[in-house]
Structure 1
Amino acid sequence: MSNEERRDSLADQAAAWVPPWQRSAPESVAPDPAPDPVEAEPVEPDRAEPEPAAPESAQLTAPAAVESAEPADPAPELGAAGDLGAEVPLEGSPGAKIAEEGAGRRQRGGRTRVVPEPPPVLDDAELRGALEAILLVVDEPVSELTLAQILEQPAERVGPILDEIAAGYTAAGHGFELRRAAGGWRLYTRPEYATYVERFVLDGQSVRLTQAALETLAVVAYRQPVTRSRISAIRGVNCDGVIRTLVTRGLIEECGTESDSGAYLYRTSTMFLEKLGLNSLDDLPPLAPFLPDDVEELADAAR
């Protein structure tokens, strides 16, 4: 073959050559042609299986084919409070049900936060009768604050009414009286009728304290808090048995321990004030009139 023929043959081959990306695929493996984006049917939102995605070349050439088939969210509407950021869910949707449940909870919460109505204010006569009824059943002095809380009345009203009741009993000459004791109020029989009351209550039984118990109780009352050893040193005898008796009867009680020795400390109880008719320990009579003249000499001798 001559050179000219060879050049013609190479030119014909070059003219007939087709690049690989432009060559047609075999019929057995040829993919379906991509549908026209304009004529393609819209995808139904409730279809169970999603449609296969379009080829990448179709996505580049037809942007409309990749748009979501679901309808766009509606424009936000004004909320219940008028804010632009609140969205109103469609009626019948899950969001609407959740919103209704939340509104119900807020309503129920609003009912629980309702301020209760103030208690009715009792007039003086009704308040007086209520106080007298309570004081007849108490077994220990009750404070004005406790009475005010029970009756749901201001404490400033309870105190003056109690004073009026006490003054009325005294003026009427009843066999009982209302007086303060141990920080509270209680009804007591009058001292002039104590003989008859004692005869009825005791009925031949003696409940008086012994001389040793009275002396020990006096030491605790004026030197409290005090330890057993200190009580024994003041009286000059062992007081363990007497102290147990006073604790059993509720006239004295333990109130901690001494920091140095760790011994138990004792003080008088509320029953002690109640039995003696005292409102506080400040009502105890002073000891100075009962002390001997040579008390300083006795103290020096004890040292």
Structure 2
Amino acid sequence: MTEQTGTEASAVAGDPGSVAGLELKPALEAVLMVVDEPATEEHLAKLLQRPRRKVGDALRELADEYTAQGRGFELRLVAGGWRFYSRPQYAAAVEGFALDGQQARLTQAALETLAVVAYRQPVSRSRVSAVRGVNCDGVMRTLLQRGLIGEAGAEPETGAILYTTTNYFLERMGLRGLDELPELAPFLPEAEAIEAETQEGVPSFDPDAPDSEDAYDKTEL
């Protein structure tokens, strides 16, 4: 019989010195405290060397425990992964700390443009402009820079670049998927209704180009 090395011994299941030997719930809390985006159950299971089902059950138990304890934070399943969030009822406190005199919110124009992309995706820039009735180049550039929308190929008929929302959008909106968007689509005009007004032949803007001198573009950022 050969003698085990220190590394081999620490890898034995149940050894508190190994990842597999750590208590699951505290280990999950420690990892989730440092993630910068929602962590999937598969990833967490691989990191902690546990079955995915066991990790998923532990995450849901933790979420229920935080709710029962009335903690100021919650563990939520968002965009396919888990992450800590502050509870909505404490938004005023968090906003005061996060902003601290800075304006970090999107403008009304940006929110309206983002809504059109969310409900019409994949959608071209010119079609977004047609729905809103104004030129949206500057706002679309802002949304791209903030990572809320991204390019998703080109429209076969016209070659116009198509845009969709991103996982970061889901994360920031607290959604698990697009199916959780509020039922607002019926209030937006159908694609056929705006087809005649849409100028698909206009070249898509360059995301890296400087802002237009158009006054409206400046107010839309």
The question of 1:203 aligning with 2:100 is answered yes
Q: Secondary structure at the match of 1:137?
A: coil
Code of the residue aligned with 1:214 in structure 2: it is L
Residue 170 in structure 1 maps to residue 170 in structure 2: no
Displacement of 1:259: 1.1
Give the partner amino acid of 2:33.
L
1:183 to 80, 90, 96: 80
Unaligned runs of 5+ in 2: 1-10, 15-19, 198-221
- Specify the SS of the correspondent of 1:170: helix
Which residue pairs with 1:291 in the alignment?
187
Whole-angstrom CA distance in 2 between matches of 1:247 and 1:143: 25
Deviations 1:253-298 (A, max 9, x none): 111111111111100011111111001101101116x739xx79xx
1:14-29 to 2 correspondences below 5 Å: none
1:85-96 alignment runs, 5 A limit: none
Give the counterpart letter for 1:278 in structure 2. Answer: L
Aligned counterparts of 1:282 and 1:119: Cα–Cα separation in 2: 44
Equivalent position amino acid for 1:152 in 2 = Q
Q: Secondary structure at the match of 1:180?
A: strand
Instruction: Give the distance between the partners of 1:271 and 1:206, measured in 2 at CA.
Output: 20
Inter-partner Cα distance in structure 2 for 1:285 and 1:213: 18
Give the letter for the 1:283 counterpart. Answer: E
Letter of the 1:205 partner, please give it. Q
- 1:25 aligns with none
Q: Which residue of 1 aligns with 2:162?
A: 265
127, 132, 136: which one pairs with 1:230? Answer: 127
Q: How many residues align?
A: 181
Match of 1:120 among 5, 8, 13: 13
CA distance in 1, matches of 2:30, 2:73: 15
Corresponding letter in the other structure for 1:259: P
Distance 1:143 1:159 in 2: 9
**1:221 and 1:267 in contact (8 A); partners too:** yes
Residues 57-80 of structure 1 deviation map (CA, whole Å, 9 limit, x = unaligned): xxxxxxxxxxxxxxxxxxxxxxxx
Contiguous gaps of at least 5 residues in structure 1:
1-117
* Distance apart, 1:120 and its partner CA: 2.3
Identify which of 58, 61, 64 aligns with 1:161.
58
C-alpha RMSD over aligned residues: 2.4
- The offset of 1:189, in angstroms, is 0.5
Residues in 1 aligned to 2:156 and 2:82: alpha-carbon distance in whole angstroms: 36
For residues 80-111 of structure 1, the C-alpha deviation after alignment (integer angstroms, 9 at most, x for no partner) is xxxxxxxxxxxxxxxxxxxxxxxxxxxxxxxx
Q: Between the two structures, name the one with larger relative contact order (CA 8 Å, sep ≥ 6).
A: 2
- The amino acid across from 1:130 in the alignment is A
DSSP 3-state at the match of 2:33:
helix
Q: Is the 8 A contact 1:254 1:267 kept in 2?
A: yes
Work out which of the two has the higher radius of gyration on C-alpha atoms and give 1 or 2: 1
**Alignment correspondent of 1:132:** 29
Name the SS for the 2:76 alignment partner.
strand
Which amino acid in structure 2 is aligned with residue 120 of structure 1? A
Look up the equivalent residue of 2:88 and give its one-letter code: P
Cα distance in 1, alignment partners of residues 53 and 100 from structure 2: 43
Partner of 1:277: 174
Counterpart amino acid of 2:13? P
- Kindly state the Cα deviation for residue 196 of structure 1 after the two structures are TM-superposed: 0.7
1:254 aligned onto 2:147: no
Which residue identity is paired with 2:31? I
Identity %: 61
TM score, norm. by length of structure 2 = 0.76
On the 8 A contact 1:227/1:266 being kept in 2, the answer is: yes
Q: In structure 1, how many angstroms separate the alpha carbons of the residues matched to 2:40 and 2:54?
A: 13
